[in-house]
């Protein structure tokens, strides 16, 4: 089965030349689209994480931003933050790529990186920060599941009347 979306998580070490190995599953998604590179930009909601994606997602993002009036302040801000900071990162046959110093500093990635698949995109995070976020999400996810279950029970009770 051909992978078309980024899923799962994986950690990787940063070598002395600031190279990291892209997880094989993520590499297959990109190579399946004829790419040996991906784009990275700091995430808007979590600037300590890098949001990454292939060229198809980059085109969609640019098309959405192009819908703003060129002089609309919100559109200009988003274009500058997303497009202005976006960099293509090529990877070699083994999946190695160089993470630019500015991105390493922004994401506080020193020795270990964590890759997290998010469907059409993936994130690169500092491993410790990423694991802390995962723990927080698990706790919040359990609470959300309980709320959803309670809402579903209430709906079923309402349907019985």
d(CA 28, CA 3): 7
Asked if residue 149 belongs to a domain, the reply is: no
Asked if residue 92 belongs to a domain, the reply is: yes
d(CA 53, CA 126): 18
pLDDT of the residue at 114: 96
Token pair belonging to 21 = 């190995």
Asked if residue 114 belongs to a domain, the reply is: yes
Is the four-CA dihedral 17, 89, 9, 114 of positive or negative sign?
positive
Asked if residue 93 belongs to a domain, the reply is: yes
pLDDT of the residue at 137: 81
Token pair belonging to 68 = 């703003």
pLDDT of the residue at 135: 84
Asked if residue 155 belongs to a domain, the reply is: no
Asked if residue 74 belongs to a domain, the reply is: yes
Helix extents (H) in 71-126: 73-78, 101-107
Q: How many distinct structural domains can be found in the chain?
A: 1
Query: Considering the entire predicted model, what is its pTM?
Result: 0.83
Asked if residue 89 belongs to a domain, the reply is: yes
Asked if residue 26 belongs to a domain, the reply is: yes
Q: What is the secondary structure of 125-137 as a DSSP string?
A: EEHHHHHHHHHHH
Task: List the CATH number of the domain containing 14.
Answer: 3.40.1550.20
Q: 57 lies in which domain range?
A: 9-127
Split the chain (161 residues) into runs of 10 and give each run's mean pLDDT.
85 94 97 96 92 96 92 93 95 96 94 96 92 83 81 65 51
């Amino acid at each position: 089965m051909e992978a078309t979306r980024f899923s799962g998580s994986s950690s990787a070490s940063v070598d002395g030349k600031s190279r990291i190995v892209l997880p094989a599953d993520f590499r297959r998604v990109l190579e399946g689209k004829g790419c040996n590179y991906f784009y990275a930009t700091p995430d808007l909601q979590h600037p300590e994480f890098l949001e990454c994606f292939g060229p198809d997602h980059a085109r969609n993002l640019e098309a959405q931003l192009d819908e703003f009036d060129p002089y609309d302040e919100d559109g200009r801000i988003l274009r500058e933050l997303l497009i202005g900071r976006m960099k293509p990162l090529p990877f070699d046959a083994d999946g190695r790529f160089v993470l630019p110093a500015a991105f390493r500093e922004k994401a506080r990635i020193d020795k270990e990186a964590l890759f997290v698949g998010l469907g059409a995109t993936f994130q690169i995070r500092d491993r410790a920060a990423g694991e802390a976020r995962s723990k927080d999400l698990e706790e919040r996810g359990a609470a959300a599941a309980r709320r959803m279950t309670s809402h579903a029970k209430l709906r079923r009770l309402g349907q019985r009347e």
